Chain A
Amino acid sequence: MQLIIERNIYDTMLRAATAAMPLEACGLCGGKDGHVTRFYEVVNADASDEHFNMRPEDQFAAVKALRSEQLELLAIWHSHPATPARMSAEDLRLAYTPDIVYLIMSIADPATPVLRGFTVAEGRDSPVDIVVPTLSD
Chain B
Amino acid sequence: MKVIVNGKETNVSENPTVNEVLAELKVKMPDMVTVELNGAILDRKTFDDTRIHPGDRMEFLYFMGGGGR
Residue of B nearest to A83 (CB): B68
B20 located at the interface, meaning its Cβ lies under 8 Å from any Cβ of chain A in the complex: no
CA distance A28 to B6 in the complex (A): 17
Residue pair B63, A94 in contact (C-beta under 8 Å): yes
Number of interface residues of A (CB under 8 A): 35
Contact partners of A57 in chain B: CB under 8 A: 41
Contact partners of A97 in chain B: CB under 8 A: 61-62, 64
Residue of A nearest to B7 (CB): A67
A126 located at the interface, meaning its Cβ lies under 8 Å from any Cβ of chain B in the complex: no
Residue of B nearest to A102 (CB): B66
Q: Given A59-B61, A60-B61, A96-B29, A51 and B66 touching (CB < 8 A)?
A: yes
Residue pair A51, B64 in contact (C-beta under 8 Å): no
- Min distance, Cβ B60 to any Cβ of chain A, angstroms: 9
Q: Given A57-B41, A96-B29, A63 and B61 touching (CB < 8 A)?
A: yes
